[in-house]
Amino acid sequence: MKQNLSALVLEQGFKINIMKVSIPFILLAVLVLQTSFVRAQASSELKPVSLAVVDFRGVLAKSEAARNIRSAVDEKRQELRKYFLEVENNLRDEQKNLSKKRSIVTAEAFEKRARKLKEKAQSAQKLAQTSNQKLKKSFDQAMDKVQKELVRIVAEVAEESGVGVVLFRSAIVIAVKKLDISKEVLTRLNKKLPDVKVRFETVKGSK
């Protein structure tokens, strides 16, 4: 007995996984260590080290550059979602039309058309997955620029303030407000890097 169209084309039901992107932040560890020594007569003494705290994750999320990146990526994701939804609907229409012709074509012709349709469905699925990967790559590359600039600014503020060690606020149970340099870091980051252009790599066959 010949396999029916569902077995050949849809199997457990054709469904393109359209750009369901969960794009987590890739946070860099920031640890600024500056150790100074002072000679006192014949012996050396280690000077006390000043501490500061920065909400690295919070600054990154609130920065204008990161917000603009997320907005650009979301817009592109919606564009791709719409495109692949159209592709999926077209494939389903082809499947329905082929089913109607089953009684008027030979079994061999039916199988041939069904295999061709299945190949198109698999190709569309692969294209959607590749587009998803490329979109994530574009996001990561853009965010990496923001993170690098953020690290540089944290080090800059620490040096200007005479701070020897900067800790993540998430790693601190209690810290006095005056130790937190997050506000100053965010202000400088927004001024220095208000936006980052997201470069989207075009995938052949997609939008």
- pLDDT digits 0-9 by tens, 42-61: 445 667 888 999 999 999 99
Rounded distance, CA 150 to CA 123, Å?
A: 41
Indicate the CATH number for domain 5-10+28-192.
3.30.910.20
Report pLDDT digits (tens) over 122-146. Answer: 999 999 999 999 999 999 999 999 9
Residues contacting residue 30 through CB under 8 Å, at least 6 positions apart? 54, 56, 150, 151, 154, 155, 166, 168
What pLDDT score was predicted for residue 205?
Answer: 65
Average pLDDT, the chain: 80
Report the relative pairing of strands 51-54 and 165-168 from DSSP bridges.
parallel
Query: Token match 């080290």: residue?
Result: 49
| Cα separation, 72 vs 19, whole angstroms | 14
Give the Cα separation of 152 and 30 in Å (integer).
9
pTM over 0.75: no
E-strand ranges in the chain read: 37-40, 43-46, 51-54, 165-168
Copy the structure tokens of residue 61: 């999320």
What 8-state DSSP symbol labels residue 207? Answer: -
* Tokens 């280690």, residue located: 46
| Separation between Cα atoms, residue 172 and residue 123, nearest integer Å | 50
The mean per-residue pLDDT over the stretch 56-74 comes to 97
